[in-house]
Structures are given as structure tokens and as C-alpha cells.
Structure 1
């Protein structure tokens, strides 16, 4: 998220948002900017914002720990708890990846869970990944190049 400061600090803003929004809607990264850039016709120029440096935050780590606990049906998971040591399997890793995509709106893969099996490691791995553009569905094409 991007904000123009008006007296509140970033931690205060994050606390304010956490009181009013579900955890998965609170931005993991908040960047302070001097002003919001606009296009010549006065609309917000999203392309002019600098890409924030990827970094894991407590928000993503906390969200992942919550999902670990829910998927594995355990009371809680700490940032350094290993998914597989808590009872995770490849099947539950698939369920975890699905929940991460749906609830945290972060693209993840089962391979990433195997490579980074704790909430803290997974948050770092997901934060370091470049966002990918969605792929448009394609229609089947026959050998002559026509739609089937």
C-alpha cells in the first residue's frame, strides 16, 4: 500500500487497518510517498509508483502461520514451525497452497512449501517472487490454425 503521511506513523496506520479489516486485507508492505502521481487527465497514475522492495513482513508470516494451523488442525503455528514436522504431507501442502492463493492473494506452489517449510521462510520466499501476470485462457486450435 502507498500512503501520503498525515501525522500517523506506518505502525499506527497498520494497527488502525488491522482493527477494521480482515488480516488478509491489511497490506504487508506500506510505502510512504510525498504525493500520489496522476496522469495528464487527473487520474491516479499507478504505473508511476516505484515498485516496493520485496520483504517479508509480520503480516504475511502471521497469515501463513494461521493457515498452517488451520490446514493441519493444530492449535497454533509459530513462525519457525516446520509444516511437515507439524504433520503436513504433500496433500495438505496442496490444500495450504490453495488457501494461500484464496485468502492471502499470493501465488504459491507446493514446491515452494517444500523448499520453505516454515511460515517465516515461506513469507520470505513468497515476498521475493516477482508477481506474474495472469495467463489468458486459450481456445483449442486444430492443425490448420482454426478454432476447434
Structure 2
């Protein structure tokens, strides 16, 4: 819009109904076109407070919860005193304020950036994540026009991310290619395991994305399709150490793992299963593999390399100890 009609004042306004709607405003500039658009500064008598969980101000550049104060804050919810007490409070030195549940960051220039909902955080594979972070990374891919990421079986041990993608005009991306490109930008636990391409995202009557409709459609979400038989070369042979790692994975994941480039998270693993594998490798090979290293190197080949280095280091330490013991003068 700004490129097509540069003489217009194009503004991004933010605000909840509880604060009589518009609370902050940002006049969009050309510099904003390469990233996410800020929600701006408070206006019209509104005040914006960025607080931590204990309702203390956080420093600029730090994410916190947005509270809104000022004359436009409403009295509460009609006939719902419990919810009113939960979301409205009289803050010392500020007066009546409304907690939005939105996570924001105040830049040094006073402009607020929106960073998603506090209640959007979910646990997947033992990690607490924000689907909005995954959506932001997906939208940065040129093949993606719009996307929504939802959690299948939230609250269960086998919770997983599903990406719904509206392709860019004239493009029909392959889900597996999107998965690989996203894996280059995000940690493995943030990469969705199921993908669905849509012509358009479902919307509610108010024009917002209907996430409930997407969640109800989880059964239609399918994992990135595997290539047709005969089109993919056979996986490379595993080295002896890779075989031990793959065997430990297979026991934890309850299905056979045979490829050196297999990804633990893509195979359905999570941090609890990773702890089981670390214990198995300790028993099988006598190596202590830190869980953090395991998560940073989620492939069979990567973990086998860690194991091999740990074995070589242990052997070198043992040899050094033997040499030191042999050089000591016998006691007379």
C-alpha cells in the first residue's frame, strides 16, 4: 500500500476493547517494509507500561507484558467480577491499569514492538515455544504468502507443530523443502513436523484467522510427503558408532532408524526421549554425553561424532594417566 500510494499516511494502530480500542500508533515508514511493523507509541492520553511477572518495569530492549493505563481504561467486565479482578489492577503511582496478555518490547526510541501473546506459549518436545516465532520465520521465506502454526495434541507428550501455509502467487512449494529451509533458521524443536498447503486461511466473521477451525482440521494435516519409491538413493551405510547411536534411537522412538542424517526431532523425538538415549549411550559405550550437546547435534552422524570425540578424549586421558604412573620413582 505504501509503495503504491506513497503520499498516504499509513498507520498501524493497536489497542484492546478494554482500553477503548486504539492505544498506540505507528506511522509506517519505508524502513519498516523489510521487517515486522511496530505498534508504536501510546497516544490520546493512554499510557503503556512494560512489566515483568511481578508487575515491575523491565528495561528497554527487554520483553515484558504490556499494561495500559490512562483515562480510557474501562471499569471492567459487566457481571464478571472475578475476571475483572484478574485483569484490572490499581498500580502504585499509576492508577487503574489493564493487563493485555500481550508481550512487547520497548525500543530505546520509545517505540513498542509486538512479540505475541503470553498465553500462546506451549510446550512441545519438552521445550516452551511460541508458534508466532515459527510463523515469523516462515513468512520470511519468499515461497510463503501467509502462514499459521498450531499445536496438535497440546499438553500431551506427543504434542507437535503443524504449519498451514498459503503459498506465494505462482508458487507451489514442496513441504519437505520448506521444512529443510526452516531448519536452517530455527532450532530443530521449532520446525513443524506436519504441513498443509491452503489456498487461503479460514477467517472468523471479524476477519481474524480462525485457529479453532485449523485445530479441528488436524486430521487433515499430513507430514511432509516422502518421495516416491525408487526416486531417493538408499541411505549411506552406518559406521559402527553410528549403528550404536541409531540402535539407541530406535529403542527410544520405537521404530527403526537407519540413516546417518536422520533428525531426532523429525523422527518424533523430544527432550524426555533424548534423556533416555543419553542414558543408553552411557551404558552402552561408557561416555557421558551432555544433554545440551545432544540437542545441538540432533542427527545420528552428529551424535556419533560427539561420542567418538568423547571416546578419544577418554583414551588419551587414560594413556596420560598410565604414563604419569609409570614415570614415578618406586618407593624404597
Per the normalisation by structure 1, the TM-score is 0.47
Instruction: Report the structure, 1 or 2, having the larger helix content.
Output: 1
Per the normalisation by structure 2, the TM-score is 0.22
Instruction: Report the structure, 1 or 2, having the larger strand content.
Output: 2
